[in-house]
Amino acid sequence: MSLEQEISIRRTFGIVSHPDAGKTTLTEKLLLFGGAIQVAGAVKSNKIKKAATSDFMEIERQRGISVATSVMAFEYRGRKVNILDTPGHKDFAEDTYRTLTAVDSVIVVIDVAKGVEEQTENLVRVCKMRRTPIIVFINKLDREGKDGFDLLDEIEEKLKLKVVPMSWPIGMGQRFQGVYNMYGEQLNLFSAHGKQVEEDTLTFKDLNNSELDQLIGDAAAAELREETHLISEVYPSFDHQRYLEGIESPVFFGSAINNFGVKELLDCFVEIAPPPLPRYAEEREVRPEEEAFTGFVFKIHANIDPRHRDRIAFVRICSGTFRRNTNYQHIRLNRKLKFSNPTSFMASRKEVVDEAFPGDIVGLYDSGNFKIGDTLTEGEILHFKGIPSFSPEQFRYVNNANPLKSKQLNKGLVQLMDEGVAQLFTMEMTQRKIIGTVGALQFDVIQYRLEHEYGASCTYEPVRLNKACWISCDDKEALNTFIRRRKKDLAKDKDGQLVYMAETAWGLKTVQEAHPEVQFHMKSEY
């Protein structure tokens, strides 16, 4: 198959939502319909003991939330589909924001009862900034929820999306009988057996057919006819180009936990979603069909398999063909690297690949060479844009709870910080270590992973800090004066860069005014 053909069959997308909207459950059911798994797992369940495939970390299984992006690939109807299931919780949003740089489209999951929630608004705002094509899946139709038209209005108002309903529910909760798929002109009858078999799907090109009344009842049939007529009058018909430009968003209804409406979503998605799109570097636009390989690291995960202590860098292929055992240029380090075991993913299950193409995500075993945002090429100097970094907002002292495990603690802290979920600072005067994160839940995850993956234990102490500011100064004498006067407030990050730890916003402003020659940066990548 030619490079152009390989590109044309690939669909790389992320699934995003507010916590508990059913994002990971939807991922499971997409994998099920794609034939990638035989039994779908559950995020939270007393009866089903199989955990969700994408929630492969032990802490995710215990808490019933996703704390890290999972990458899964499968083939469906002649397409190669790459799913990136992202954390929904705002404390892990930085992982999600970085992941959005590696996808070509997204599916936004909305709970029919709760409607549009805060984190969904934040994530959609980022997608709109990037003009990423969005499909909306309204989930949990088997429960009582908001009226369908009210939900469409809410999506348009809060998310600023122009919606195009592609399917429509017949009732809701106790009255839920199925979904009419307007895109495929099919009626899908709901049965809570958790399967979607062919007998449940009927083709209805004409809703005025009297057979509809016999199937769902006179009242429900009349309501469906009235509502679909209203949809045709109020909402535009689907325009593929406007969807690709991020202007219009198709909307589907269903119940992921019951496998309902998922196949229709997947069937439509593989047809309309974009193949791999161009990526922008500081130097130029990089198009997928270019022959020379390029890619960037958007995520690093330590101990993806705790038994082997492996550390994996996730690379999005942007152009050309990535080949195993081939030398590629690491731009930041300015050296050639060769990879003997590049892997594709099914969450924590890995498979060695000989080739990968634009849109694919490959995992590279990493001994400490990679940072988030690093570029690999065949030699051309490129720096891909748009990979965000974050300034920590919460800080705590970290103490070693077991002095016999100091080596394990230090190794664990360094490797977990490399994932980009938190930052480590060492105070210059006291040598005490401080962890800075965007969200409080990160502290629990770090503590848990240190214990279960590295055999180290730590405790935290509160510390009064407002900001961590990276320092630069062209005037050496002015910098030395600043360091001498402010030594008690200075720290080094894990890369040895100087950082000013500000206790309050007012205190930071005062120090900035007292040292005008010194620049204070809110991110390490200044």
Concatenated DSSP letters of 402-465: -GGGHHHHHHHHHHHHHTTS-EEEEETTT--EEEEESSTHHHHHHHHHHHHHHS--EEEEE---
On whether both 407 and 343 belong to a single domain, the answer is no
CA distance 375 to 377: 7
Using 50, 70 and 90 to split pLDDT, how confident is the model at 135? very high
Write the DSSP symbol of residue 31. Answer: H
Tell me the pLDDT tens digit for each residue of 277-326: 999 999 999 999 999 999 999 888 876 665 656 788 899 999 999 999 99
Question: Taking 80 as the threshold, does the pLDDT of residue 406 lie above it?
Answer: yes
Strands 322-323 and 201-203 come out as unpaired
CA distance 366 to 494: 18
Give the pLDDT confidence score for residue 48 in this predicted structure: 37
Q: Which of 106, 242, 241 is nearest to 163 (CA)?
A: 242
What is the token pair recorded at 81? 């589909």
Strand order in the sheet with 201-203: 167-170, 178-181, 186-189, 201-203
CA distance 521 to 115: 38
Question: Taking 50 as the threshold, does the pLDDT of residue 39 lie above it?
Answer: no
In the chain, the percentage of residues whose pLDDT exceeds 90 is 46
Please list the alpha-helical segments (H only) found in 276-432. Answer: 406-418
Question: Taking 70 as the threshold, does the pLDDT of residue 182 lie above it?
Answer: yes
Tell me the pLDDT tens digit for each residue of 242-282: 999 999 999 999 988 888 888 889 999 999 999 999 999 99
SS3 343: strand
On whether both 368 and 414 belong to a single domain, the answer is no
- Of 67-81, 338-352, 421-435, the range with the highest mean pLDDT is 421-435
Judge whether 227 and 148 are in contact, CB under 8 Å.
yes
Question: Taking 80 as the threshold, does the pLDDT of residue 62 lie above it?
Answer: no
On whether both 403 and 347 belong to a single domain, the answer is no
Q: Which helix (H) or strand (E) holds 400?
A: strand 394-400
Question: Taking 80 as the threshold, does the pLDDT of residue 421 lie above it?
Answer: no
Tell me the pLDDT tens digit for each residue of 467-512: 999 999 999 999 999 999 999 999 998 888 999 999 999 999 999 9
Judge whether 60 and 44 are in contact, CB under 8 Å.
no
On whether both 217 and 146 belong to a single domain, the answer is yes
User: Higher model confidence: residue 71 or residue 380?
Assistant: 380
225-249 average pLDDT score: 92
Q: Specify the residue for token string 């044309």.
A: 8
194-200 average pLDDT score: 50
Core vs surface per residue 220-259: b (16+ CB within 10 A) or e: bbeebeebeeebeeebeebeeeebbebebbbbbbbbbbbb
Give the pLDDT confidence score for residue 51 in this predicted structure: 43
448-455 average pLDDT score: 87
User: Higher model confidence: residue 89 or residue 332?
Assistant: 332
Domain boundary among 216, 246, 272: 272
Strands, DSSP E only, in 24-161? 70-76, 79-85, 105-111, 134-139
On whether both 460 and 415 belong to a single domain, the answer is yes
Domain boundary among 272, 289, 309: 272
On whether both 130 and 244 belong to a single domain, the answer is yes
Give the pLDDT confidence score for residue 358 in this predicted structure: 95
User: Higher model confidence: residue 355 or residue 347?
Assistant: 355
What single letter denotes the amino acid at residue 495?
A: D
Interacting residues of 307 by C-beta distance below 8 A, sequence separation 6+: none
| 351 lies in some domain | yes
By CB atoms closer than 10 A (0-12, 13-18, 19+), residue 332 is middle
Q: Which of 306, 301, 323 is nearest to 84 (CA)?
A: 301
On whether both 198 and 311 belong to a single domain, the answer is no
CA distance 494 to 425: 7
| 8 lies in some domain | no
Instruction: Point out the least confidently predicted range of 96-105, 203-212, 244-253, 425-434.
Output: 203-212
Q: Which of 148, 343, 140, 124 is nearest to 249 (CA)?
A: 124
For Cα atoms 76, 77, 78, give the angle at the middle one, nearest 5 degrees. 95
| 247 lies in some domain | yes
On whether both 129 and 209 belong to a single domain, the answer is yes
Task: State which residues form the domain around 406.
Answer: 394-521
Domain count, the chain: 3
Q: Specify the residue for token string 């030398």.
A: 327
Give the pLDDT confidence score for residue 277 in this predicted structure: 94
Q: Which of 134, 137, 115, 122 is nearest to 30 (CA)?
A: 137
Give the pLDDT confidence score for residue 53 in this predicted structure: 46
Cα torsion 95, 96, 98, 102 to 10°: value is 130
| 42 lies in some domain | yes
Domain boundary among 377, 405, 422: 377
| 333 lies in some domain | yes
CA distance 360 to 315: 8
| 98 lies in some domain | no
Question: Taking 70 as the threshold, does the pLDDT of residue 375 lie above it?
Answer: yes
Number of residues written out for the chain: 526
Question: Taking 90 as the threshold, does the pLDDT of residue 92 lie above it?
Answer: no
| 151 lies in some domain | yes
Judge whether 482 and 515 are in contact, CB under 8 Å.
yes
Give the pLDDT confidence score for residue 86 in this predicted structure: 73
CATH of the domain at 501: 3.30.70.3280
Give the pLDDT confidence score for residue 261 in this predicted structure: 85
SS3 266: helix
Using 50, 70 and 90 to split pLDDT, how confident is the model at 56? very low
Give the pLDDT confidence score for residue 325 in this predicted structure: 92
Using 50, 70 and 90 to split pLDDT, how confident is the model at 126? confident
CA distance 438 to 146: 33
Question: Taking 60 as the threshold, does the pLDDT of residue 37 lie above it?
Answer: no
Judge whether 324 and 342 are in contact, CB under 8 Å.
yes
Instruction: Point out the least confidently predicted range of 121-130, 193-202, 316-325.
Output: 193-202
Interacting residues of 451 by C-beta distance below 8 A, sequence separation 6+: 457
CATH of the domain at 133: 3.40.50.300
| 382 lies in some domain | no
Mean pLDDT score of the chain:
84
On whether both 251 and 317 belong to a single domain, the answer is no
Give the pLDDT confidence score for residue 329 in this predicted structure: 95
In the chain, the percentage of residues whose pLDDT exceeds 70 is 85
What single letter denotes the amino acid at residue 33?
A: F
Entry pTM: 0.79
Interacting residues of 47 by C-beta distance below 8 A, sequence separation 6+: none
CA distance 82 to 71: 7
User: Higher model confidence: residue 64 or residue 509?
Assistant: 509
110-137 average pLDDT score: 90
Give the pLDDT confidence score for residue 93 in this predicted structure: 60
Using 50, 70 and 90 to split pLDDT, how confident is the model at 87? low
User: Higher model confidence: residue 61 or residue 508?
Assistant: 508
On whether both 362 and 285 belong to a single domain, the answer is yes
On whether both 337 and 400 belong to a single domain, the answer is no
Tell me the pLDDT tens digit for each residue of 148-173: 999 999 999 999 999 999 989 888 88
Using 50, 70 and 90 to split pLDDT, how confident is the model at 387? confident
Using 50, 70 and 90 to split pLDDT, how confident is the model at 58? low
Give the pLDDT confidence score for residue 199 in this predicted structure: 46
On whether both 118 and 262 belong to a single domain, the answer is yes
Q: Which of 447, 412, 398 is nearest to 306 (CA)?
A: 412
